[in-house]
Amino acid sequence: MATKEIETIVALVSEKEDDLNRASLDVDWNRTFLLALWHKVAFIVYERLRTTGLLDTAIGSGRLPLLLANHWSQLVAVNQVRHANHSAELEQIDAALTAHGVRYAVGKGGPLLIPEIYSPYERKMYDVDLLADRSHSEAVIEALRGIGYQMGAYDRRTRTLRGIGKDDLRNWLLHSRGLPNFVKVADSRLIDHSICQVQFHLGDTKTGKTRPAGVLLDGRVRRNRFWAIERAAVLTQLGLHIYREFTDESFRHWGMGSNLVKFADLARWVDHLDDDEFAESVDVVRLLGHTAEISAAARLTGLILGSPRLEDLVSLDRTGMGRADRDRAVTRSGLYDAMDQIFRTAADGADESRWSKLVGFKTT
């Protein structure tokens, strides 16, 4: 078990570098790098190493190979380009949806969290996550198609998109919270495709406890050049994302188990809020009826990234998970057990057959 490697990653992500052995950072950096990549915190870890001077320490001691450090820095630079690309894509998406009369809002992810709790150097930018009204589904499809997006799975070998049929779309709408991923194939070798997700419901499809996304669209606010959910609703969205990863079987069957960045998002966000903002955010959790889920998400997050605010969220409702789910969550999310176990699971792959039979195919 990669105890020292996990300790290093968690300390850097939680900005507790003083807990590390700063003299040499004596860890297996190859494994640390791969763990950080899987958990989507490679850029956070690199930036903390760089800004604290620990990157030079690790290289100077000979523990961190210079070749690996160079590759790492190149990935950080590529991520900044991807951030700029997705920001530009979001502007196009906003214009297209607005022109088609679609009421939407960014529901989670980088656009909401940068620069609030992350710099563009830290947070991985992979896609754009939107909420919209189910009644606007046809308009969403038409609007995004008009700017080059199609629903389907990206073939990396041929750099083409495999589209979907009506049966696939119907199954996806029945068994998920929204539409299949929209993918736009680009000409650039650096950014070969962009992804946009559109969800029509909040909550958890496994439990059936979902609500129309419109409950968050009513309070949407204009941020820079796009619409976003109100700040008080962000906590709910971040917590529900964590909760789904432990209860929605699609994550398990597709090998997309919990990763550290989701916990970092929630921990950083609640610590970033002032007292009034935190109280307003808790009010939204109660109003939407998700106290059990957010309590469970905070409990899981607190196992790795402790915070007094997280304890306040845990106290909202301690029935968020049954005993079996709670024990499984502790096993998967303990500081030393979780990341190592999740990393092995990802490397071994996962059985996708059961979930694939429900929705017909796996989107990008």
CA distances from 107 to 64, 127, 225 (A): 38, 12, 15
Assess whether 183 and 303 both reside in one domain: no
Q: Is residue 191 part of a domain?
A: yes
Verify that 129 and 207 share a domain, yes or no: yes
Q: Tell me whether residue 201 is in a domain.
A: yes
Instruction: Mark which of 229, 245, 275 sits at the end of a domain.
Output: 229
CA gap 228, 107 in Å, rounded = 7
| 274/286 same-domain check | yes
Q: Please give the residue range of the domain that contains residue 115.
A: 87-229
pLDDT tens for 46-83 read 999 999 999 999 999 889 999 999 999 999 999 998 89
Q: Please indicate, yes or no, whether residues 222 and 291 belong to a single structural domain of this protein.
A: no
Confidence of residue 364 (pLDDT cuts 50, 70, 90): very low
pLDDT value, residue 191: 80
Render pLDDT for 209-257 as a digit per residue (tens, 0 to 9): 778 999 999 999 999 899 999 999 999 999 998 888 776 555 554 444 5
Asked whether residue 186 is assigned to any structural domain, the reply reads yes
Domain-terminating residue out of 187, 213, 229:
229
pLDDT of res. 207: 61
| Confidence at 16, pLDDT banded by 50, 70, 90 | confident
Residues 196 and 264 in one domain: no
- Let me know if residue 168 belongs to a domain: yes
Strands (E), 109-186: 128-132, 150-155, 160-163, 182-185
Do 100 and 184 sit in the same domain of this protein? yes
Q: At what angle do helices 291-304 and 275-288 cross, to 10 degrees?
A: 130
User: How many structural domains does the chain have?
Assistant: 2
Quote the distance between the C-alpha of residue 110 and its chain's center.
Answer: 8
Query: Using CA atoms, how far apart are residues 250 and 362, in angstroms rounded to an integer?
Result: 10
Read off φ and ψ for residue 268, nearest 5 degrees: -65, -40
Which one, of 56, 126, 117, lies nearest residue 90 by Cα? 126
Q: How far apart are the first and last CA of the chain?
A: 31
pLDDT at 129: 95
191 and 211 together in one domain: yes
State which of 199, 214, 229 marks the end of a domain.
229
Peptide bond into 115 cis (omega under 30): yes
Q: Does 139 fall in a domain?
A: yes
CATH number for 160: 3.30.460
Asked if residue 64 is part of any domain, the answer here is no
Query: In this prediction, what percent of the chain has a pLDDT beyond 90?
Result: 51
Q: Which helix (H) or strand (E) holds 275?
A: helix 275-288
**Pair (189, 287) in one structural domain:** no
If asked whether residues 159 and 267 sit together in one domain, one would say no
Cα–chain center distance at 326: 22
C-alpha 92: how far from chain center: 22
Maximum C-alpha span of the chain: 60
d(CA 29, CA 222): 42
Closest CA to 144 of 187, 97, 106: 97
281, 313 contact by CB (below 8 A): no
Q: How many CA atoms lie within 13 A of 142 on its CB side?
A: 9
For residue 129, the 8-state DSSP code is E
Q: Do 157 and 237 fall into the same domain?
A: no
Q: Is residue 295 part of a domain?
A: yes
Q: What does the alpha-carbon distance between residue 36 and residue 136 come to, in Å, rounded to a whole number?
A: 38
Of 36, 31, 60, give the one whose Cα is nearest residue 47.
36
**In a domain? residue 352:** no
* Separation between Cα atoms, residue 230 and residue 41, nearest integer Å: 26
Are the C-beta atoms of 216 and 317 separated by less than 8 Å? no
Residue-wise pLDDT for 135-156, tens only, equals 999 999 999 999 999 998 888 8
Q: Are residues 185 and 127 in the same domain?
A: yes
For the segment 33-53, the average pLDDT, to the nearest whole number, is: 93
- Are residues 187 and 141 part of one domain? yes
